[in-house]
Structure 1
């Protein structure tokens, strides 16, 4: 009886966490800070929890790519797609070959790094907007060096992923991509494609716990729809601060729990 009640509480928490994660992703990002620990709380092993969480949250990224497809720079698609595929697959394969206990001890560090990346995304985004406001002549950057810079970022996305989006935008900007809409669309494409490759790798390897994945996917989608209705009304700096504080708090809990 007690075990059934605990299972019920865990299911309720997964539903609530998925809703919150969907809202966060639609408004600012960082939903994995909530949904990934929820997967662990219902008893999913750490690597399977990360894989299941990635699969559950991926469909929301696909809709973003569809919405931004007209802003993509066609001359950069081969290098961005190549780095995304290779990085996403290799990151997922390395994750699946990591020991459960090793990954569990890495989790607080990964969450902390992701939180700091979200915190840095504010000033970097302002710098990118200022940069894009100044007229520049569009040119194609050196593709091989750009590929080599994007590859480890996409590897990180395939392995864990939270907070990596602005790293893609920064890399592209440093290589001469100036227009903000192009930066954002290429960022979304790289994240979506890297995660797609990771998702397919996780599915083929049998690392996805589907009963929890479907629950999280459905309610994250509902949360994403709700969050999208309010995203433009909220102050971006406040949203970012909420994400950073949430991520640091969850990282702190994991540091304490698995010290």
Structure 2
């Protein structure tokens, strides 16, 4: 018997995937790797599944940020927030007016590249800092940061799976080393970009609310649990989780492409 014929199996998978996705997004990102396919499994069309999944995961990001708010770098909230608004709205609009095929082919390369860069960014940042004449952390310039983050925020508004890795990669390359600060800013950037995207999705009527509400409740619970767990995990362990999860996500999308070509 095929698994899809088992009563309520897809619904159980949607609940489980939403809970785990909330935990993943709070700790390392990449929760859409689970929740987006689960939404597709409910028979929702791809664009609407992506829009619904974005709305469903947003409360989990909100509960995560509430738990991680002490690690947020307040001096970066304004430039990152502005970039998220611009990128999130633009990405959502493009999603609703174009097909996903071309961009889906870019996703595994984008996530793989971001993961590898993130893996070496800690040591690279330390090396650059050791050659600097400044003592302590250097201030991050707002305009270069905004220019670098805009494509990532656009991507989060458009599709979003693995976008958190890219946010942390950008911030790490600009010299932010503390893993917990990186994680908190990643959650803030994803939260802001997705908020702008979900307003667009809701206004245009692209949400399947019957599945969204269920997924939303369990993703919020997962986000709260994941944020509490993330604060207890050493920074290097969390960095390893980020890299490992990124490689798994990239491998999944490469596999998916090879089987749909």
Tell me the TM-score normalised to structure 2 length.
Answer: 0.78
- Call closer, same or farther: CA 1:126–1:32 in 2, change over 3 Å: farther
In the other structure, the counterpart of 1:57 is: 57
Q: CA shift at 1:65, angstroms?
A: 2.6
In the other structure, the counterpart of 1:121 is: 118
- Call closer, same or farther: CA 1:242–1:95 in 2, change over 3 Å: same
What is the alpha-carbon distance in structure 2 between the residues aligned to residue 22 and residue 177 of structure 1?
24
Task: Could you tell me which runs of 5 or more consecutive residues in structure 2 were left unpaired when the two chains were aligned.
Answer: none
How do 1:86-165 and structure 2 match up within 5 A? Answer: 86-99=86-99, 103-104=100-101, 106-107=103-104, 109-111=106-108, 113-125=110-122, 127-128=124-125, 136=135, 140-165=139-164
- Call closer, same or farther: CA 1:123–1:89 in 2, change over 3 Å: same
Q: CA shift at 1:18, angstroms?
A: 1.8
Q: CA shift at 1:84, angstroms?
A: 0.8
How do 1:1-259 and structure 2 match up within 5 A? Answer: 8-99=8-99, 103-104=100-101, 106-107=103-104, 109-111=106-108, 113-125=110-122, 127-128=124-125, 136=135, 140-175=139-174, 183-227=182-226, 231=230, 232=232, 235-236=237-238, 239-240=241-242, 243-244=245-246, 246-259=248-261
Q: CA shift at 1:141, angstroms?
A: 4.4
Q: CA shift at 1:236, angstroms?
A: 3.6
Q: CA shift at 1:73, angstroms?
A: 4.2
What is the alpha-carbon distance in structure 1 between the residues aligned to residue 223 and residue 249 of structure 2?
19
2:179/2:238 contact within 8 Å kept? no
What is the alpha-carbon distance in structure 2 between the residues aligned to residue 147 and residue 237 of structure 1?
23
Task: Report the more deviating stretch, 230-239 or 188-197.
Answer: 230-239
CA RMSD between the two structures: 3.5
